[in-house]
Chain A
Amino acid sequence: QQQVKQSPQSLIVQKGGISIINCAYENTAFDYFPWYQQFPGKGPALLIAIRPDVSEKKEGRFTISFNKSAKQFSLHIMDSQPGDSATYFCAAFQGAQKLVFGQGTRLTINP
């Protein structure tokens, strides 16, 4: 049962461009939405997170946009750099810290 659906599976962006990854959920009990970044051979690391009472959160080049009514949220990476090449996972917390992940997006930034 996939509770968080993520797209696209893979994404190629030119250096300096904007990378956009989308996620959708069904369970309205989710109350915290983190994004994780994972490099090959490493565990996921928290990148940025948002709560459903906020429509947007920005940290440096990374922005989460949240649409509560549509049950969708997205990650925007501005001025994408080759060092941003990684796999990105959206996730959602449900109740007592049960963390559910999306399928992941492999992002490649071409120099």
Chain B
Amino acid sequence: EAGVAQSPRYKIIEKRQSVAFWCNPISGHATLYWYQQILGQGPKLLIQFQNNGVVDDSQLPKDRFSAERLKGVDSTLKIQPAKLEDSAVYLCASSLVSTAVNTEAFFGQGTRLTVV
């Protein structure tokens, strides 16, 4: 079974530039998450999709971050303009949907963003 695919693996940009990350979840997984993991901290949820609808984006800095999952499969996360504090690893995860049982979230390897 193929895992969650993310690209690029690494990205270095200057502040005020824009950047986009791509995620392809595991086939059949309806739920997709984007997490931000700052060095030395636990992952923080940015946005959660159920198919192509947003379930939770309460911690997404909407003035600069945007995300979409147009066809309920792949997703992109964009930052525009980037700030120094956006330097982090951006993790994508996916899981099956279950109303009765909490199911495992599978993570990709992440995209390491450095803003200089």
Binding site for B on A (CB under 8 A): 4, 6, 31-32, 34, 41-46, 49, 89, 91, 93, 96-104
Contact = CB atoms under 8 A, between A and B. Distances in A.
A31, A45, A97, A102 interface centre (most CB from chain B within 10 Å)? A97
14 contacts: A32-B102, A43-B91, A43-B93, A43-B109, A89-B42, A97-B95, A98-B45, A98-B48, A98-B56, A100-B45, A103-B41, A103-B42, A104-B41, A104-B42
Contacts, number: 55
A44 B89 CA distance: 12
Select the residue from B33, B40, B95, B109 with max chain A CB neighbours within 10 A: B40
Most A CB within 10 A of own CB, among B4, B42, B105, B106: B42
B25 interface: no
Contact of A104 (B40, B48, B55): B40
